[in-house]
């Protein structure tokens, strides 16, 4: 009996426990020689409960395996559907871009022809047509870019980049947007930033998205852009920070700020417009380059968006 119990210690392997149970059953079937009657009865009861638990455990193991199999099947089906939707978005976007480019081009051509005849009666209408076309084209391009990233078809062209020069250029591009909302735009570039090896077009897109977002949600405030190098346990990073004194976000709004096709709040969407693609695109693009982007915010105080770039592009493997 002592040897049987010794084989049922907590660290015993399942096969050792099963062997010990079989020995225990044989011992009970022999009438438990040398054991008092009350102890024999208790041992039989415990053995019965043990066998019942063993059966329940087998049922749970079967249920677990069935759940894993169903989950894998569902994951494969969802992946196929997702790929189909992504492909549809890409194809549809291409089909829409051609006529929209024609609308924009013809509206500008008509404006030029009327201007040659000194006819400006329809300037406002033609400008509305052109601007609406450009707006729609920008939305479609955003959907197309995001679908490319999520389907793993984004192309990266790494080269050596002067980060300070790239950020200064981005700031120059958004200054008119900052002036529209009477915002002050401050830049703080560390002299030690130097170069990184990455895709200048993609990094520029990310920085412009962060700056445009800050300009849009800040009125008569301050927007600060800082660039520096930092080192942590994972290595060295070039850190680009965009801080604003805009409307800010609650923790719940912040939790979905990087989700595609979603904005922090429905009322925000109505007042400020947009599709909710910019920040989702930025995060997806950063992940493709081995970079990171995250945000902190306080409602009514403002937000801070931080993008961390590795010194050398580390492309994600799909």
89 near 143, Cβ under 8 Å? yes
Give 12: exposed, middle or buried? Use CB within 10 Å, 0-12, 13-18, 19+.
middle
Identify the pLDDT of residue 12: 54
Identify the pLDDT of residue 314: 66
CATH numbers and ranges of domains, the chain: 159-309 (3.30.565.10)
| Residues 267, 143: Cα–Cα separation, whole Å | 22
Identify the pLDDT of residue 294: 95
Identify the pLDDT of residue 317: 41
Q: Say whether 281 sits in a helix, a strand or coil.
A: helix
225 near 241, Cβ under 8 Å? yes
Identify the pLDDT of residue 64: 74
Identify the pLDDT of residue 15: 65
Q: Quick one: tokens of 158?
A: 């790494």
Walking along the chain (318 residues) 10 residues at a time, the average pLDDT comes out as 52 62 70 70 70 71 79 78 69 72 84 84 82 76 71 79 93 91 93 89 92 92 95 91 94 87 59 71 89 94 95 64
């Amino acid at each position: 009996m002592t040897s049987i119990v010794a084989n049922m210690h907590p660290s015993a392997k399942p096969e050792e426990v099963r062997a010990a149970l079989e020995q225990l059953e044989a011992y009970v079937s022999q009438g438990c020689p040398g054991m008092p009657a009350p102890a024999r009865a208790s041992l039989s009861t415990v053995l019965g409960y043990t066998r019942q638990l063993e059966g329940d455990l087998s049922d749970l193991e079967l249920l677990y395996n069935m759940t894993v199999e169903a989950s894998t099947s569902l994951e494969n089906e969802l992946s196929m559907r997702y790929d189909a939707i992504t492909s549809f978005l890409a194809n549809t976007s291409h089909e829409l871009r051609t006529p929209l480019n024609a609308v924009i081009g013809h509206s500008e051509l008509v404006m030029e022809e009327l201007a040659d005849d000194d006819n400006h009666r329809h300037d406002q209408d033609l400008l509305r047509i052109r601007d609406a076309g450009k707006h729609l084209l920008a939305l479609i391009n955003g959907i197309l870019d995001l679908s490319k990233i999520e389907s793993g078809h984004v192309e990266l062209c790494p080269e050596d980049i002067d980060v300070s020069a790239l950020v200064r250029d981005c700031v120059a591009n958004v200054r008119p947007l900052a002036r529209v909302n009477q915002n002050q735009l401050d830049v703080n570039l560390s002299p030690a930033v130097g170069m990184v090896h990455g895709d200048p077009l993609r990094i520029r897109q990310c920085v412009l998205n962060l700056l445009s977002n800050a300009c849009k949600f800040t009125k008569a405030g301050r927007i600060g852009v800082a660039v520096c190098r930092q080192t942590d346990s994972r290595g060295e990073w070039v850190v680009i920070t965009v801080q604003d004194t805009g409307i800010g976000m609650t923790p719940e709004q912040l939790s979905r700020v990087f989700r595609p096709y979603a904005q922090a709040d429905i009322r925000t969407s109505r007042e400020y417009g947009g599709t909710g693609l910019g920040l989702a695109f930025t995060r997806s693009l950063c992940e493709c380059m081995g970079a990171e982007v995250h945000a902190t915010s306080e409602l009514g105080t403002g937000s801070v968006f931080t993008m961390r770039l590795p010194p050398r592009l580390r492309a994600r493997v799909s």
